[in-house]
Amino acid sequence: MELSKEQCREIIARRVAKEVKEGDVITLGIGLPTEVANYIPHNIHVIFQSENGMTGVGHRDLSAPENPKVINAGGLAVTTRPGAVFFDTSMAFTIIRGGHVDATVLGALQVDEEGNLANWMIPGVLVPGMGGAMDLVVGAKKVIIAMEHTSKGRPRIVKKCSIPLTAQHEVDMIVTERCVIDVTPQGLVLKEINPNFSLEKILASTDANLIIPDYLTQKAG
Amino acid sequence: MKKIISVSEAAKLIKSNSSVMIGGFLRCGTPVKIIDELINNKTGNLTLIANDTSYPDYDRGKLIVNKLVKKVIAAHIGTNPETGRQMHAGELEVQLVPMGTLVERIRSAGAGLGGFLTPTGIGTMVEEGKETIEIDGKKYLLEKPLKADVAIVYATKADKFGNAFLDGTTRNFNPVMATAAETVILEADEICDEPLNPAEVTIPGLFIDYIAV
């Protein structure tokens, strides 16, 4: 079965949401990672932090005026949740770099076997700037990469990143529509597979070596 | 009491070829009126220090589109395609700095520090040309202070002492930039006759040289 882009995004966001625990301070990247918030159960209290200067980020505020005074890091007007706080950029990065964020969820262009991450530029093609991403991956206690497994059919989980890095050895977990991977000192460990995909197909669409626990080969066999 | 001047007088304090810090995160909390006057005056060859270059049709983004900037020091330029185009065409020098490093470099300048050590950027392009220092077995980059000739900062409201309140997420780089420039101009949406409640002040007025309305 071929999954649509929307289905892929929902599978990824739902799975990442399961990693979130009561009381966690979470920073979500722009795009797919933002959707994780939609799948966190209402009985779990989470503090969403945004690098532009707030905790307690709520939903998008479609009633906001043309030039709103409360935005998220993507520039969109948002609401505040009970307990929300505003602060300046200096405080935002004290929170981010100082180890006060429990988990960050970000997209990636490439992730490699050593947990190196490239997600901020493609030389000569795309140079948007790193924004707060370099600080986030260095400072957050847990770095979760949420992305579609391949880009235009090409693997994104590679042996070694070929484009400029965002940070070295900082990724802890990779969640795609096909599988969940833990980054360990021994290498990338395949943790779960989406039953819609065979182990062979996952391996064929992954450039990096994956360590496959026995329980997955038995299930697949 | 601070000198209250018009937006037009404020813009004239900013000279071509100077370095200018401008507050704002995308379109939020940015001094739009002074920027428009800079464009009218064609104040050019500026070094722009800001979080980002906004969008082509808004605030800092318009300075880029009108080719008034020779160098940008920012964390993000992706929302303004014109910045990227001028950079690739060799018309504009762009120095990209991680956001947390950018704000801390400005804070260092304003706080009298000679710089700081950060793990951000280790093992990346950001490390190039910088000193690496190991503390207790962990590597850090030495990042140096960043100051400017002028800072233009935004406030939701200010009193005549220059004390400023910034609502919502309009704070962003504004308070830290107000500490790190030779001349600091505050553009306030509203000037209050009565002093602000001291507990409500986001930027202490002592940092502000001029209030523009």
Active site annotation includes A51: yes
Decide if B27 is inside a domain: yes
Q: What is the mean pLDDT of chain B?
A: 97
Decide if B121 is inside a domain: no
Predicted confidence pLDDT, tens digits, chain A (221 residues): 689 999 999 999 999 999 999 999 999 998 899 999 999 998 999 999 999 999 999 988 898 887 799 999 999 999 999 999 999 999 999 999 999 999 999 999 999 999 999 999 999 888 999 999 999 999 999 999 999 999 999 999 999 999 999 999 999 999 999 999 999 999 999 999 999 999 999 999 999 999 999 988 875 54
User: Within 10 Å of residue B154's Cβ, how many Cβ atoms?
Assistant: 28
Q: Would the CB atoms of A138 and B119 count as touching at under 8 Å?
A: yes
User: Within 10 Å of residue A188's Cβ, how many Cβ atoms?
Assistant: 24
- pTM of the predicted structure, to 2 decimals: 0.96
Residue B22 has a pLDDT of 98
Task: Quote the CA–CA distance of B120 and B57 in Å, as a whole number.
Answer: 32
Contact indicator for A34, A57 with CB cutoff of 8 Å: no
CA angle centred on A53, ends B46 and A49, rounded to 5°: 140
Higher pLDDT, A139 or B3: A139
Domain of residue B103, CATH code: 3.40.1080.10
* Number of separate domains in chain B: 1
Q: How far apart are the first and last CA of chain A?
A: 19
Range of the domain at B155: 3-113+146-212
DSSP string, A153-180: TEESEESS--S--SBSS---EEE-SSEE
Decide if B130 is inside a domain: no
Find residues 44-103 of chain B whose CB sits inside 8 Å of chain A: 51-52, 74-79, 84, 87-88, 94, 96, 98-101, 103
| Amino acid present at B159 | D
Residue B2 has a pLDDT of 75
Residue B26: phi and psi, rounded to 5, are 50, -125
Q: Given CB atoms, is B195 within the 8 Å cutoff of chain A?
A: no
Contact indicator for B163, B190 with CB cutoff of 8 Å: no
Decide if B133 is inside a domain: no
Q: Would the CB atoms of A134 and B98 count as touching at under 8 Å?
A: yes
Q: Given CB atoms, is B26 within the 8 Å cutoff of chain A?
A: yes
Residue A39 has a pLDDT of 95
pLDDT single digits (tens) B90-105? 999 999 999 999 999 9
Q: Would the CB atoms of A69 and B25 count as touching at under 8 Å?
A: no
Task: Quote the CA–CA distance of B109 and B103 in Å, as a whole number.
Answer: 10
Give the number of C-alpha atoms closer than 13 A to the C-alpha of residue B28, restricted to the C-beta side.
Answer: 27
Q: Would the CB atoms of B123 and A167 count as touching at under 8 Å?
A: yes
pLDDT single digits (tens) B54-75? 999 999 999 999 999 999 999 9
Best to test chain B binding among A27, A72, A88 (most B CBs inside 10 Å): A88
Q: Would the CB atoms of A134 and B120 count as touching at under 8 Å?
A: yes
Q: Given CB atoms, is A58 within the 8 Å cutoff of chain B?
A: no
Query: Helix, strand, coil: what percent of chain A each, to 5?
Result: 25, 30, 45
Instruction: Judge whether residue B176 has pLDDT over 60.
Output: yes
SS3 letters across B168-197: HHHCECHHHHCCCEEEEEEEECCEECCCCC
Residue A1 has a pLDDT of 63
Of residues A67, A70, A133, nearest to B27 (C-beta): A67
Decide if B67 is inside a domain: yes
Task: Quote the CA–CA distance of B71 and B91 in Å, as a whole number.
Answer: 9
What CATH number labels A5-220? 3.40.1080.10
Residue B71 makes CB contacts below 8 A (sequence gap 6+) with B46, B47, B48, B92, B93, B94, B95
Give me the residue spans of the domains in chain A. Answer: 5-220
Q: What ranges make up the beta strands (E) of chain B?
A: 3-5, 19-22, 46-49, 69-74, 93-96, 116-118, 132-135, 138-143, 148-155, 157-159, 164-165, 181-188, 191-192, 210-212
